[in-house]
Structure 1
Amino acid sequence: MRSKIFDDAELERLRREAIPSSNELATAGDEAPQATDQLPRVEAAMDLPVVGDSDDDEMVSHELEQMRSILEEAILETRSMPLENRPRLLRIPLSKRNRAIVRALNPMLVTYLEASRDLCETDSVLFGAAMAVCRIIGAKLPMAGRATKQSSAIPAWRKRIEDRIAKARALIGRLISFRSGNNRPRVVRTVRMAFAGTNISFSQPDITQKLTERIDDLKQKIAAWGKRIRQFTERSRRFNQNRLFQSDQKKLYKSLERPEVCGAGPGPDQANTVAFWRGLWSEPVNHNEGPWTEVVASQ
Structure 2
Amino acid sequence: MVEQPANVDAAVNTPVVVDSNDDGTVAQELELEHMRSILEEAIVETRSTPLENRPRLPRIALSKRNRAVVRALNPMLVTYLEASRDLCETDSILFGAALAVCRIIGAKVSTAGRATGHSSAIPAWRRRIEERIAKARALIGRLICFRSGNNRPRIVRTVRMAFAGTNVSLSQPDITQKLTERIDDLKQRIAAWGKRIRRYTERSTRFNQNRLFQSDQKRLYESLERPMVSGTGPAPNQADTVAFWRGLWSEPVNHSEGPWTEVVASQCAGITPMDPVIITPDDVAEAVRRAPNWKSPGLDGLHHYWLKRFMVCHSVLARRFQEALTPQSLPSLFTTGITHLVPKDQDSAKSLTVPR
- TM-score scaled by structure 2? 0.40
Bigger relative contact order, structure 1 or 2 (CA pairs below 8 A, ≥6 apart): 2
Higher helix share: 1
User: TM-score, length-normalised on structure 1?
Assistant: 0.46
